[in-house]
A = this chain, B = another copy of it.
Amino acid sequence: MKRKITLKQIAKELDVSVSTVSKALKDSAEISVDTKEKIKAFAKLYNYKPNNIALSLKNRKTKTIGIIIPEIVHHFFTTVIRGIEHVANEKGYNVIICLSNNSFDKEVLNLEFLANGSTDGFIMSVAKETQQKEDYHHIKEVISQGMPVVMFDRVIDEVICDKVVISDKHGAFEAVQYLIDLQCKKIALISTVDYVSVGKLRTAGYKEALTTNDLEVNEDLILKIEDVDHSQEKIEEFLKGKDIDAVFAVNEQFAVNAIKALTKLGKKVPNDVSVIGFTDGVVSKSFIPSLSTVNQHGEDMGAKAAHLLIERLESETEEQIFQTTVLDTSLIIRDSVKK
């Protein structure tokens, strides 16, 4: 088995110096045409490709960007990855993905790994556990060491870096406003616990929509779910006997579960109760009735994040001004709301 060939081996084989080979392959004018051709032919024959690691070390840049996300089996995150990947590749960057599995410790490890030379910068959405602990020293640390970081979706205010978020609050507002415009008066909210930043924001949007329309915020109509795995039962229990005409859920799963629970309780969606979810995933389209949702445009988000990061990587100046890009959501109305 032939091992990957190096410049040194080519040089030895052709009895020239390493520098000559390097230059010849870069088509340098310093090398005679004859020699260049000879070297190129030989290199091609042995399928020479420069070693990335060596290049990275030499150039002190890896042309690689890291992604740290809490979970990969998750439609939204994969769309973001796709967006990142797309623009990264376009700009000649590769992508390395690390999963925190929503664990703080793993996030710290990932960060350390990515920051120790493996990448030029990274894009991350913080783990749930991290948001709960409110411990962001690891992120601040790498930033202070000069590693550019872009946060998306679950961002942290106290960490100073570029950020890309959607207008969670406004997206929720619009959804609830839509329900109100349909004459819904008793709108339930199914949200996550407050330390998840996006859950909190969406809850705020819900409340604002109500108060703006002079509707009372009734805490009895608000459910905050901690444990996603048992959401179905929680939601059933919550909806039982509630007199409502609409449900706004902060994610797709909760919305689907709500519809199932409602159906079980003998209520028809959308005739008796309208339902709007958040995040447009695969289920939303397929579900019957198809789900109305607030679309987060994950791919755009990833693309924007990648642009921000690469721009920072390639700008000469050490710009200390950071920006937070807020992307609009859009409301996709399907069959789960009455017309």
Question: Which A residues lie at the B interface, using CB under 8 A?
Answer: 1-4, 47, 49-54, 56-57, 62, 64, 72-75, 78-79, 81-82, 85, 89, 94-99, 106, 112-113, 115-118, 141, 144-146, 256, 260, 263, 281-283, 286-288, 318
Contacts and interface: CB of A to CB of B under 8 A. Distances in A.
Contact of A73 (B47, B75, B94, B144): B75
A97 B99 contact: no
A1 B281 contact: no
Given A52-B117, A116-B52, A288-B260, A1 B146 contact: yes
B52 A118 contact: yes
A336 to B, nearest CB: 12
B72 A81 contact: yes
Contacts of A118: 52-53, 94
A116 B50 contact: yes
B49 A116 contact: yes
A160 to B, nearest CB: 12
7 contacts: A52-B113, A54-B117, A75-B75, A97-B97, A260-B288, A282-B282, A287-B287
Given A47-B145, A94-B96, 8 more contacts: A1-B144, A1-B318, A2-B146, A53-B117, A64-B96, A73-B79, A78-B78, A85-B99
Nearest to A60: B53
Contact of A78 (B72, B94, B146): B72
A3 B49 contact: no
A287 B281 CA distance: 13
Contacts of A56: 53
A94 B119 CA distance: 13
Contacts of A54: 57, 117
A16 to B, nearest CB: 23
Given A1-B146, A57-B57, A51 B116 contact: yes
A145 B3 contact: yes
Contacts of A260: 286, 288
A51 B117 contact: yes
Contacts of A94: 96, 98, 113, 118
Contact of A53 (B62, B72, B146): B62
A78 B82 contact: no
Contacts of A98: 94-95
| Interface-centre pick from A51, A94, A99, A141 (highest chain B CB count, 10 A) | A94
Nearest to A106: B89
Contacts of A78: 72-74, 78
A165 to B, nearest CB: 21
Contacts of A85: 72, 99
Contacts of A281: 282
A253 to B, nearest CB: 8
B99 A141 contact: no
A255 to B, nearest CB: 10
Given A98-B95, A145-B2, A286 B283 contact: yes
Contact of A146 (B4, B57, B95): B4
A54 B288 CA distance: 55
Given A99-B82, A99-B85, A145 B287 contact: no
